[in-house]
Structure 1
Amino acid sequence: MGNKILTMNSVELFTGAGGLAIGISNAGFRHQAAIERDKNACLTIRSNQQRGIQSVADWPVFPADVTQFDFTTLQVKGEIDLLAGGPPCQPFSQGGKHQGWDDSRDMFPQFFRAVRELKPKAILVENVKGLLRSSFSQYFEYIILQLTYPEIVQKSGEDWVDHLSRLERHHTVDHHDGLSYRVVFRNLNAADYGIPQKRDRVFMVGFRSDLGVEWSFPAPTHSQEAILWEQWVTGDYWERHRVPLSERPEVPKKQCDHIYNLQSSLFPPLTKPWRTVRDAISDLPVPGSEEGSSRVLNHVVIPGARKYPGHTGSPLDQSAKTLKAGVHGVPGGENMLAFHTGEVRYFTVREAARLQTFPDEYFFPHCWTQTMRQLGNAVPVALAEVLASSIRTHLLRVKAIQA
């Protein structure tokens, strides 16, 4: 199989700090455009390009509002193999105003336009779990059907509900002409794929219908059962990290029944264990120390962390809570690390980047507040790579057949 067959073109919308895009790049795609309107996020990417970070080195970054972007201006040799992006989640987030389609930040229509104009072989979309709530169920159906039939456009004066009815009627006919995609979706927990963070997000993946691709989401590789087994049945976890009995937390009360059932089992779980915060950061030097500040990028302690009811942080020996784009006032204290002693502190930027599986050489040039916003909005790099690798494998099969 020659290099020409191995070359895969991609376009990324709503790139942010680059989590999804880096994962896609690591999977073997070459970005022909990375579009992001936030100047701070663009500066993060360009700072790493200037530092020679390989995964972002050749990205053409467009600091542009996607609503004003003309996709026909892209100079691309061959077809776009993958169009990816995570439209702003605020319209559908649990912590937002829940305005959905009435929110000016709803950028799904722009993603539809990009699909229509670029006609990529595959699409990958990420968004918050809140999109699956019953209050958005009709709009979610609309998103799936519009991704399926991107050329059936909304008419002038037609609202999205009437447009949905037209899409439904088209979907039920026997034959479909024009551009169409086979689209599937699933709510994925990043922890199930080796990311040290419990992070539920909706992913939508589609392949152009003419390619005849049969695809399903990759099976989870990690489980909570496996980490509970290592911690509370065999104790291997504590031995691996050399944690003495005096420094181990108490058995989590919520998991007592679960652990008892595991102890009664004769066989360990077949999956790998969920990765914990300790797994992710234990090899980092103490933040604030001379070694920590000089050897590790972005590894500086931010003072002022405190816990109170409902704001307790992520326990060191569990997968982290979901990092969010808020900072000091995030419900649950998702941006804090909680020790078994009861002490808490804020995650350093590098620790938070580890929880999102960004490479250690990736530099964040902004203050802690702005950087945590970028990290909270990002897709974990390693999860993006898992999905993009699977998509690429199926596209390579199509290229091999067509060659």
Structure 2
Amino acid sequence: MPPSLWTHEFMNEMRTKADPLADAVIERLFTEGKVDAVNHLMRTLVENDDLPSARLPPYVVEYLERTKASVPRLDPERLRAGQELFDLFGPEVMMILGFYSLPAAYAARKGVQVLYRTGFLQKRPVRRVFETAQMVVDVMTEGGMEPDGRGVCTTQKVRLMHAAIRYMIRHDAANPWDAEELGQPINQEDLAGTLMTFSYVVLEGMKALHIELTPEQQEAWLYAWVGVGRIIGLDERLLPANVEEARQLTFLIRQRQVEFSPEGVAMTAALLEGMKQLTPDLLDGLPASMVHFFLDQDQWQGLNVADMLQVPRPDWTTIIPHAIRHIADLTDWVGDNTFVAARLLRYISKDIVEGMLLVERGGQRTPFYIPEHLQDSWKVKPGIRARNAKRRAETAPMGNDSNQKVA
């Protein structure tokens, strides 16, 4: 759909649209009275890396087949070009997601209401970071977007979880959802805005850090995430054809949705606490400093979003992102082994990745997973790799305790 047709009227309509395919699966489970089946499905989605077809209802299996139908049409060369960027800059991408993409999403007053209602980030602040980062790893690893790849499977799971959350919010009599004011829970506009935080906003973040990408690299990154958008149920009319269209869509949604809300403030505060678990004690102030670095930028049309989200003022750690940017002004980006700004950025971003590999996710969830070849490329410390591998081996055989509570 040409950007000229992305009008306020059209976007208002998109707020009334959800995801009929996934919603029908969850609706059927509930209306058939299969509460145990719903609990089992959600437990399977949350706790396992794959979706064991033999243990799922036939119509769930049909959903899985239909949602991966678009995958074979993806151009493997363009897809791999986008994934190669993750090979090169994965730790930096993870840092951008935590310090830019997620708080940018919380700045959307209407969209953040669903996340606030689920409450799981506030209870376990680091979990949202894990879920986001794991999806990116799964999608952007070579092979992840093949029909049975981890990225496709993860995206299918996220789509079903969206539908389950949507169902529960719609049927919450104690706390009715105001669809007239907020639109449908996890509606099409909010899905589009979220997709842009993984795609265009990451490109914005890399530019702010002076990681210079060619136009071809930027288009390849977007291409991979547009593929994800199709699997996750985004309306084709909301899928940008190129980076310029992605910029226009992102800025339109920001213009429409970025606004103060107490829920956004609370979610951001919880995120900052969670991110502190992934950084060395000496750098406790870094999460707030990095959020200010990204969200004070002028691409927000004069609005200081970090202040709007009541992010604490930066401490001495604010020199780190600004040093990276100003040193990078002096020369070209040439990789993390030869240049001080690149080495500083990689040092900090790798700390975050290693923190994810070490921190417990809670319950019976499989620990955070990064493929061995990426751990090699990013030079993850051997001791951290060994501890993560041990925990993954310990949690691999999942139990079938029907009384286990799903968070």
The TM-score range, normalised by the shorter chain, is under 0.3
More helix by share: 2
More strand by share: 1
TM-score (norm 1): 0.28
TM-score (norm 2): 0.28
The structure with the larger Rg is 1
Point out which structure has higher relative CO (alpha carbons under 8 A, 6+ apart).
Answer: 2
